[in-house]
């Protein structure tokens, strides 16, 4: 099942922060893979821009090393890497100084699509926007790509939106959430809106509840300073999990195009219920035999920041009133997995009697580690032992379906960067969406801050604090097991 590749128009892409971790691990390998796939034309230029003291040859060596380390060997021929590196340039500049900007303006082709990827810390976004404008690079076919975090709360997000709006039109701003670029996330829309099977059942009449889990095994080492200011609520819930919730809950847009899709997502966020204090469980991971605990990792014995959060919310609209949404995310959990489970109601009456058991269909959309979709259906247990029912999965793992080609399916960054060049904003967050998400998030955070509430401790390698299980047990439900 080969993927179809449509080349994009020639472009100049400047990666501010081109020597940073994100550029090295994600952006540059993604560009290389698209180059190998023939989607990036040979005339495109990729320009790393950063404070670091590189010359062009040094930066090309940096890019080559990143590719060799992070791209599957099957794609790493010497010729391909050399051809790609030929298109790579470097310019030394500081977002807060004027040196280097004139040179950048001169090497950017004003007649082409120009994209500027802000892969630097958010405090520099405004400086970059301002300098791009001052040096004549903000108009026409210019797009800016803004990394997360987009604001720390509603006020800072509004301020950032206003700052960017000063020099750029909303159609030029691409707020990236890489979860939206995942194959399965888009498939979620295909499943819902290209099949007759699910949509008639996609409402509170048939869906008992929905649970979304994003579990990580890693701690916060390496990002301690940022993370301790953010916590799981700001780092994951306000953006990634909110976006997943929107896609699962939104009404069918009239067309698969940016305005229509983003309008529907916004309506979901606006209809989200406030979260009561008893519907939130926050946790902090403890040390384990071989790893240090959260408080040590952040170097702050008094930190009250959560590395785990579970909460229950609802959506007050005709489709979803009465269906709870349970969301949880955390670090140092039992396994690395992200999934959305749509748990359907039991059949209204069992003709097989109590002994056969009651079973519910569950549609599970797995985002990582192995993207795929599974539908749990109930069948008769094979054999002559009477009518007993068991659940079996109808399983579609992308890796299995696509075979060796699975490695070549574009990852989230590849897809999203190509969308930027194509000018397609469907999978990027609009300013009002981000603000609405903070409007929901801020009061939740304020609740525990006002009370000075400490998160509960949980064992590293566990499913999170015990109380998180209670959040569902008390409703007669249970979380799905966290497993890879």
Residues with active-site annotation? 240
Q: 124 with 96: CB under 8 angstroms?
A: yes
- When asked if residue 216 is in the footprint of ligand NAD (CB under 6 A), the reply is no
> Nearest CA to 363 among 354, 355, 372?
372
Of 22, 37, 283, 16, residue with least CA distance to 129: 16
Among 96, 380, 478, 483, binds ligand NAD (CB under 6 A): 96
> Does residue 153 touch ligand NAD according to CB under 6 A?
no
The one among 60, 87, 114, 148 contacting ligand NAD by CB under 6 A: 148
Euclidean distance between CA atoms 73 and 62, whole angstroms: 17
Residue 256's φ and ψ, nearest 5 degrees, are -85, 75
What is the DSSP code string of 134-168? Answer: HTT-SSSSEEEEEPSP--SSHHHHHHHHHHHHHHS
| Helical residues (DSSP H) of 168-257, grouped into ranges | 183-194, 224-232, 242-249
Q: Give the residues across from 145 on adjacent strands.
A: 117, 174
10 is an interface residue for ligand NAD by CB under 6 A: no
The stretch near ligand NAD (CB under 6 A) out of 118-126, 238-246, 406-414, 464-472 is 118-126
Residue (85 or 375) nearer to ligand NAD, CB: 85
When asked if residue 251 is in the footprint of ligand NAD (CB under 6 A), the reply is no
> Any contact of residue 235 with ligand NAD (CB under 6 A)?
no
Q: Please choose, out of 10-18, 164-172, 430-438, 452-460, the segment that lies near ligand NAD by the rule CB under 6 A.
A: 10-18
- The secondary structure of residue 97, as a DSSP letter, is S
H or E element at residue 117: strand 113-118
Nearest distance, CB of residue 26 and ligand NAD, angstroms: 7
Please list, in sequence order, all residues whose beta carbon lies within 8 angstroms of the beta carbon of residue 483, skipping any fewer than 6 positions away.
334, 335, 337
Choosing from 36, 63, 95, 115, the residue that interacts with ligand NAD (CB under 6 A) is: 95
Nearer of residues 122 and 252 to ligand NAD, judged by Cβ = 122
For residue 229, state whether it binds ligand NAD (rule: CB under 6 A). Answer: no
Closer residue to ligand NAD, CB minimum distance, 203 or 217: 217
* 50-69 positions binding ligand NAD, by CB under 6 A: 50-52
Asked whether position 20 contacts ligand NAD by CB under 6 A, the answer is yes
241 counts as binding ligand NAD under rule CB under 6 A: no
Smallest separation (angstroms) from ligand NAD to the CB of 315: 27
Contact between residue 174 and residue 204 where contact means Cβ atoms under 8 Å apart? no
Cβ at position 24, least distance to ligand NAD in Å: 7
Contact present, 218 and 332 (Cβ < 8 Å): yes
Question: Minimum Å distance from CB 350 to ligand NAD?
Answer: 48
142 touching ligand NAD, by CB under 6 A: no
Q: Does 124 contact ligand NAD by CB under 6 A?
A: yes
With CB under 6 A as the contact rule, the residue among 40, 67, 91, 120 that binds ligand NAD is 120
**CB 95 → ligand NAD: shortest distance, Å?**
4
Taking CB under 6 A as the criterion, the residue among 17, 231, 258, 410 binding ligand NAD is 17
Sheet holding 456-458, edge to edge: 389-397, 372-380, 362-368, 337-344, 207-215, 325-330, 308-313, 280-285, 456-458
**Which residue in the block uniquely carries the two structure tokens 């140092």?**
332
C-alpha dihedral over 375, 395, 483, 183, to 10 degrees? -90
Q: Which residues pair with 112 in a beta bridge?
A: none
Q: Which stretch binds ligand NAD (CB under 6 A): 44-52, 208-216, 288-296, 423-431?
A: 44-52
Q: Does 121 bind ligand NAD (CB under 6 A)?
A: yes
Minimum distance, C-beta of residue 176 to ligand NAD, in the bound complex (Å):
8
Asked whether position 122 contacts ligand NAD by CB under 6 A, the answer is: yes
Q: Which residues of 82-103 are buried (b: 16+ CB within 10 A; e: fewer)?
A: eebbebbbbbbbebeeeeebee
Contact residues: ligand NAD, CB under 6 A? 16-23, 50-52, 94-96, 119-122, 124, 147-149
């Amino acid at each position: 099942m080969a993927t179809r590749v449509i080349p994009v128009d020639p472009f100049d892409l400047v990666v501010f922060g081109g020597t940073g971790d994100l550029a090295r691990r994600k952006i540059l390998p993604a560009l290389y893979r698209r180059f190998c796939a023939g989607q990036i034309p040979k005339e495109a230029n990729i320009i790393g821009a950063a404070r670091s003291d590189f010359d062009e040859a040094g930066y090309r060596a940096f890019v080559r090393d990143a590719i060799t380390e992070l791209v599957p060997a099957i794609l790493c021929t010497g010729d391909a890497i050399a051809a790609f590196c030929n298109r790579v340039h470097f310019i030394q500049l500081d977002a807060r100084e004027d040196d280097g900007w004139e040179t950048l303006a001169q090497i950017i082709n004003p007649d082409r699509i120009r994209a500027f990827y802000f892969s630097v810390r958010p405090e520099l976004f405004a400086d970059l926007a301002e300098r791009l404008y001052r040096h004549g690079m903000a108009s026409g076919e210019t797009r800016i790509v803004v990394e997360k975090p987009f604001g720390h709360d509603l006020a800072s997000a509004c301020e950032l939106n206003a700052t960017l709006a000063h020099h750029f039109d909303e159609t030029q701003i691409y707020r990236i959430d890489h979860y939206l670029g995942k194959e399965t996330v888009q498939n979620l829309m295909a499943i819902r809106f290209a099949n007759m099977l699910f949509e008639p059942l996609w409402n509170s009449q048939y869906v008992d509840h929905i649970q979304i889990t994003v579990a990580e095994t890693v701690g916060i080492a390496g990002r301690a300073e940022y993370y301790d200011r953010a916590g799981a609520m700001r780092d994951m819930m306000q953006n990634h999990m909110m976006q997943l919730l929107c896609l699962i809950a939104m009404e069918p847009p009239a067309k698969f195009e940016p305005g229509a899709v983003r309008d529907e997502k916004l309506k979901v966020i606006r209809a989200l219920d406030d979260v009561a204090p008893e519907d939130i469980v926050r946790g902090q991971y403890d040390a384990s035999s071989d790893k240090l605990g959260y408080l040590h990792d952040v170097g702050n014995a008094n930190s009250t920041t959560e590395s785990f959060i579970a909460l229950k919310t609802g959506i007050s609209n005709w489709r979803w009133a009465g269906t709870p949404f349970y969301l949880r995310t955390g670090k140092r959990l039992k396994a690395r997995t992200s999934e959305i489970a749509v748990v359907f109601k039991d059949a209204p009456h069992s003709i097989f009697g109590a002994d056969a058991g009651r079973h519910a269909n569950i549609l599970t959309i797995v985002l990582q580690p192995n993207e795929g979709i599974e539908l749990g259906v109930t069948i008769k247990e094979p054999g002559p032992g009477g009518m007993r029912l068991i659940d079996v999965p109808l399983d579609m793992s992308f890796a299995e379906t696509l075979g060796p080609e699975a490695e070549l399916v574009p990852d989230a960054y590849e897809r999203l960067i190509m969308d930027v060049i194509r000018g397609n904003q469907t999978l990027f967050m609009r300013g009002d969406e981000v603000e609405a998400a903070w409007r929901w998030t801020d009061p939740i955070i304020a609740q525990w801050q006002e009370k000075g509430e400490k998160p509960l401790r949980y064992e590293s390698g566990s499913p999170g604090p015990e109380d998180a299980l209670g959040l569902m047990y008390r409703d007669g439900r249970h979380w799905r097991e966290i497993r890879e």
